[in-house]
Amino acid sequence: MVDITHKVTTLREATAEAIVKTSSQATIDAIKNNEVPKGNVFEMAKAAGLFGVKKTPDLLPDCHPLPIEYTGIDYEIDGLDITISMTVKTIYKTGVEVEAMHGASVVALTMYDMLKPIDKNVEIGIIRLKSKKGGKSSYKINSEGLTADVVVCSDTISKGKGEDRAGEAIIEKLKSLGVPSQKSIIPDEAEEIIKKVENTTADLLIFTGGTGVGPRDVTPQTLEPLLDIKLKGVEEQMRSYGQNRMPYAMFSRSIAGIKDGKLILALPGSTKGAAESMDAIFPHVLHAFKVIEGKRHD
């Protein structure tokens, strides 16, 4: 199965459609009048569709088990055709398109099975995904024109006694988003951190390191007084995301805020902590630039 542990949880919704084609008005009348020998077609098919949605990961090998928070099934009769509309919702890391399509398929098959004794020419027409939202396509972020400075805060690395991996992990993530960046390394000194804030010309300034509770971890208390606005929700998201993956994330004092129209972040110095913090808030945090420009939230 595809690894989705790095993804963030969002509200996901998908609507699928299937069409059952009957061959006579008599079949439609039998359905409407509840005269089909095998029972109430709409109610039986709806129950089967609910089971179909829930059983999707049991039948499709690469489909992730996920919590189904809502399933809605509607029917529309148009002439001799019955259109099935299946809507599925979840709050999870991956979408429910397959669940919706599988559920619609099961509804159609159930109707076919119930109608074939009275209509030898009944058939299933198109089965398709009608709409979806909640994933990447719903939260498109335009990073065009943005630049970033990545600053590694470490006494050890600045002295050449260690190798930087956290900064490289951040740069790799930015690269995947189309944001060019440059990296510098400084010791854990407040004066050096302030200079970086004052001298950066980039839109995005990301510090990594110095966010713990050690005696030399001075990044948060140095940055906080410089910020025009603190983005507490961004900070909470990084800690919550990390805490769901390892218990020591609660000690992180990651920082997020805006200074002179620039987005400033302070992430953990560990490679995993930095990478997970980037996964937790990117690319969605780049929406801040749209808001800074005075544009409304979508």
Residues that are catalytic? 113
Buried b (16+ CB within 10 A) or exposed e, 35-45: ebeeeebbebb
The SS3 assignment for 217 reads coil
In one-letter notation, the amino acid at residue 218 is V
Distance in angstroms (rounded) separating the CA atoms of residues 179 and 172: 10
Nearby residues of 142 by Cβ (< 8 Å), 6 or more positions away? 286, 290
Q: Which of 296, 99, 286, 295 is closest to 203 using CA atoms?
A: 286
Give alpha helix (H) positions in the chain.
25-32, 41-54, 56-59, 97-115, 155-158, 166-176, 190-199, 219-223, 232-243, 271-281, 287-292
CA angle at residue 168 from 167 to 169, to 5 degrees? 90
- In the beta sheet, which residues pair with residue 81? 21, 78
CB neighbour class for 141 (10 Å; exposed up to 12, middle 13-18, buried from 19): middle
The 3-state secondary structure of 26-77, one letter per residue: HHHHHHHCCCCCCCCHHHHHHHHHHHHHHCHHHHCCCCCCCCCCEEEEEEEE
